[in-house]
Amino acid sequence: MKKFLFYCALTILIAFIFIGIFADLIAPMDPDAINMANSLASPSAEHLLGTDHLGRDLLSRLIYGSRSSVFIAFFATGCTLLLGLTIGLVSGYFGGWEDQLIQGVVNIFQGIPSTAFVVAVLGLLGPGIKSLLIAIVVSSWARFSRVVRNQVLGIREMHYIEGARAMGGSNLYIIRRHVLPNILLPLLVLIATRIGSTVLTVAAMSFLGLGLRAPASDWGIMINDAKLYFVNDFRVLLAPATCLTLFCLSINLIADYLRDHLDNDADTARIL
Amino acid sequence: MNDTLRYIMTKIFLAIPILIGITLLAFGLGLIARGDPALARLTVDPDYIPTEEEVQALREEMGLTDPIFIQYGRWISGVVKGDLGESYLDDKPVLSEMLRLLPNTLLLSFMSLTLIVVLGLLGGILLVVFQDRLFDVIGRILSIFIMSVPGFCLAYFMIWVFAQKLKLLPTSGTEPMTAFIMPCLALALSSACLVARLLRSSILGELVQDYALTARAKGLRKSQLVFRHTLRNALTPSVTHIANVFGGFLGGSMITESIFSIPGIGTYALTAINNRDYTAIQGYVLFTGFAFVLVCLLSDLICSYLNPQIRLGRRV
């Protein structure tokens, strides 16, 4: 049962990624083509999901929306991972006063709520997608580096590391060939949950007008556009909301499955 | 008792650098963002162009030429006295504005907290009691589904159903009290489901421990085992998570408050960001940061009460 759900979720996620990549080929219409005469039209052969308040094709906007949502999420998580991984590796592998210092900074960053960070960064740099990305990375690298460090601390004491060092392997070589492969699998759970929450943050901020700006096609913006019209025509709200929910659901199911199968680390398990 | 006291002291001591970090973040934000206040003050009158000497004189008068840490000291002593500065937008003091809006946010936060605690604990225990039976399977699938619905989608869905179709609840505002039902549900439902799942997995984790096996060997029923023995130990991760969520609520939830037009801390911050009102943002960061840290501190103390092993320094 769990396996079945996992494969379903994986299929959905991959489908979203493919739709995002090939948005140009799949989308039946230009997502920004305005046609006021045909606004809020019901689904028809021409517009499979109907049109929004400006007469734009809803399906095309959804398809382009998955491009922006999915790619921002993966990009932001990638940046966070890179930063957290590097800092966590250095901190855990080399130890000493650097470790103490880094852990102090990590403690402070983890103590500050992420909303405060997001608001501070957005307030400082002004609303926009670039500042949103920075805000996400700044507010979430600490958790990654903490998890990486704890993993590395355990691996560092293993005999095979000692063996590699005895054979004359440099630090970089040991990290690349022996430490990294061993921590990546447990990290997957954390990466999956982060992608899910990043999609939500981006959609929420775009919804508030602090991330992507209209007329861009993004699920958050579509929901924001829909808020004046959903009373009469619930379809304009339901379409982006379903996509968002489906995406989060697939991420949650994947993370759940991975956690059951790979993860024994109490620190990562506590997230969910 | 001595250990307990030492544990509490350590926790408070560890919170201090975090609080200082938050003040630095807030101060740095104001420092980078504000531009040159002396120039800004002198150019209020558009017809008057100040000379460089005048600007310099005012800078010194306002203390802007002092080293940064002295400026920080001056700012922090103002903050301690409750002076967070005045909003750029309407010249109202930031602190009193936030205090005026706080009751709405507090009410929403505490109602959501209650909902999360009740639904989360009840759900978690029920899932354990009916483990691997139909209720458990359906409950887990349902909860992961609810967890995946973003709060603002849920909010609009509820508005559509309860306010537009059934006309049961008001869509916005703070009066009457029933207006708080939907925002509260939008905030709390997904966290409640998460807590239920978390509690379920941590109780199941405790049930395989040796002491639970002993209790079972003595012939206790499963419900007794859960309530008398494992629940208290298993609560710790849930309490930590609830504290994290609640700490976030206290900072105001920008989305829920703006959807339901509740004038609270979150909408205040949203207006401040959109208008680049740096003093207000500064005050907001400071306020949310402090609220969050204090709530987390409280949750650490609750956890140490629930599980004395924590305060005795043993990793659990």
| CATH code, B171 | 1.10.3720.10
Q: Where residue A272 falls among pLDDT bands split at 50, 70, 90? A: very low
Q: Which of A63, A54, A60, A57 is nearest to A229 (CA)?
A: A54
SS (H, E, C) chain A: CHHHHHHHHHHHHHHHHHHHHCHHHHCCCCCCCCCHHHCCCCCCCCCCCCECCCCCEHHHHHHHHHHHHHHHHHHHHHHHHHHHHHHHHHHHHHCHHHHHHHHHHHHHHHHCCHHHHHHHHHHHHCCCHHHHHHHHHHHHHHHHHHHHHHHHHHHHCCHHHHHHHHCCCCHHHHHHHHHHHHHHHHHHHHHHHHHHHHHHHHHHHHHCCCCCCCCCCCHHHHHHHHCCCCCCCCHHHHHHHHHHHHHHHHHHHHHHHHHHHHCCCHHHHCCC
CA B114 to chain centre: 14
Over residues B112-125, the mean pLDDT reads 93
Retrieve residue B180's tokens: 């708080």
The more confidently predicted of residues A233 and A19 is A19
The more confidently predicted of residues A125 and B231 is B231
ipTM of this complex: 0.79
Contacts for A95 with CB less than 8 Å, ≥ 6 apart: A156
CA B309 to chain centre: 27
**Residue B81, domain member (yes or no):** no
A108 and B CB contact within 8 Å: yes
CB contact at 8 A, A125 and B29: no
Q: What is the pLDDT of residues A98-152, one digit of tens each?
A: 888 888 888 878 777 777 778 778 777 777 788 888 888 888 888 888 888 888 8
How far apart CA B133 and CA B236 sit, in angstroms, is 26
pTM for this one? 0.82
**Per-residue pLDDT, A263:** 53
**Per-residue pLDDT, B316:** 39
**Per-residue pLDDT, A264:** 53
How far apart CA B257 and CA A41 sit, in angstroms, is 31
Across A24-33, A83-92, B152-161, least confident range: A24-33
How far apart CA B169 and CA B183 sit, in angstroms, is 11
How far apart CA B72 and CA B28 sit, in angstroms, is 9
**Residue B73, domain member (yes or no):** no
Across A6-10, A260-264, B149-153, B279-283, least confident range: A260-264
**Per-residue pLDDT, B43:** 66
B255 and A CB contact within 8 Å: yes
Contacts for B248 with CB less than 8 Å, ≥ 6 apart: A113, A114, A115, B292
pLDDT at B1 over 80: no
**Residue B240, domain member (yes or no):** yes
Across A153-157, A251-255, B113-117, least confident range: A153-157
Option in A1, A123, A245 nearest B150 (CB): A245
**Residue B193, domain member (yes or no):** yes
CB-neighbour burial class of residue B265 (10 A; exposed 0-12, middle 13-18, buried 19+): buried
CB contact at 8 A, A71 and A77: no
Is-cis flag, bond preceding B150, omega within 30? no
**Per-residue pLDDT, B114:** 94
Across A241-245, B35-39, B56-60, B279-283, least confident range: B35-39
Tell me the residue type at B7: Y
Q: Which of B125, B137, B303 is nearest to B223 (CA)?
A: B125
Query: Which domains are delineated in chain A?
Result: 2-29+49-271 (1.10.3720.10)
On average, the pLDDT of chain B sits at 83
Rg over CA atoms, chain A: 22
Contact A115 B157 (CB under 8 A): no
Contact B33 A200 (CB under 8 A): no
pLDDT at B315 over 50: no
Q: Ramachandran region of residue B82, left (φ > 0), alpha (ψ -120 to 50) or beta?
A: left
Q: What is the pLDDT of residues B9-29, one digit of tens each?
A: 888 888 888 888 888 888 887
**Per-residue pLDDT, B131:** 82
**Residue B301, domain member (yes or no):** yes
pLDDT at B97 over 50: yes
**Per-residue pLDDT, A269:** 42
- The count of domains in chain B is 1
Q: Where residue B120 falls among pLDDT bands split at 50, 70, 90? A: very high
Retrieve residue A42's tokens: 């019901």
On average, the pLDDT of chain A sits at 81
Q: What is the pLDDT of residues B252-278, one digit of tens each?
A: 788 888 888 888 888 888 888 887 777
Q: Where residue B109 falls among pLDDT bands split at 50, 70, 90? A: very high
Identify the sign of the CA torsion A6, A9, A11, A17: negative
B89 and A CB contact within 8 Å: no
- Show the domain range for B290: 94-311
**Per-residue pLDDT, B193:** 92
Which residues from chain A sit within 8 angstroms of residue B32, using beta carbons?
Answer: 124
Under DSSP, the state recorded for B81 is T
How close B87 gets to chain A, by Cα (Å)? 14
CB contact at 8 A, A161 and A153: no
Retrieve residue B207's tokens: 């049930």
- Residue B296: closest CA among chain A residues belongs to which residue? A111
Tell me the residue type at B42: L
**Residue B65, domain member (yes or no):** no
How far apart CA A88 and CA A103 sit, in angstroms, is 9
Please state, as a whole number, how many other Cβ atoms lie within 10 Å of the Cβ of residue A15. Answer: 13
Q: Where residue A267 falls among pLDDT bands split at 50, 70, 90? A: very low
Q: Where residue A219 falls among pLDDT bands split at 50, 70, 90? A: confident
How close B237 gets to chain A, by Cα (Å)? 6
How close A235 gets to chain B, by Cα (Å)? 11
**Per-residue pLDDT, B195:** 92
CB contact at 8 A, B136 and B127: yes
**Per-residue pLDDT, B242:** 92
**Per-residue pLDDT, B116:** 94
pLDDT at B33 over 80: no
Give the orientation angle of helix B231-250 with respect to helix B94-129, to 10 degrees: 150
Q: Which residues pair with A51 in a beta bridge?
A: A57
How close A248 gets to chain B, by Cα (Å)? 5
* Alpha-carbon distance values, A270 to A118, A140, B286 (Å): 23, 15, 27
Across A172-181, B43-52, B71-80, least confident range: B43-52
**Residue B26, domain member (yes or no):** no
Contacts for A258 with CB less than 8 Å, ≥ 6 apart: A188, A189, A192
Q: Which of A71, A85, A53, A20 is nearest to A215 (CA)?
A: A53
**Per-residue pLDDT, A35:** 72
Which residues from chain A sit within 8 angstroms of residue B145, using beta carbons?
Answer: 249
How far apart CA A254 and CA A10 sit, in angstroms, is 7
Over residues A9-14, the mean pLDDT reads 90
**Residue B173, domain member (yes or no):** yes
CB-neighbour burial class of residue B268 (10 A; exposed 0-12, middle 13-18, buried 19+): buried
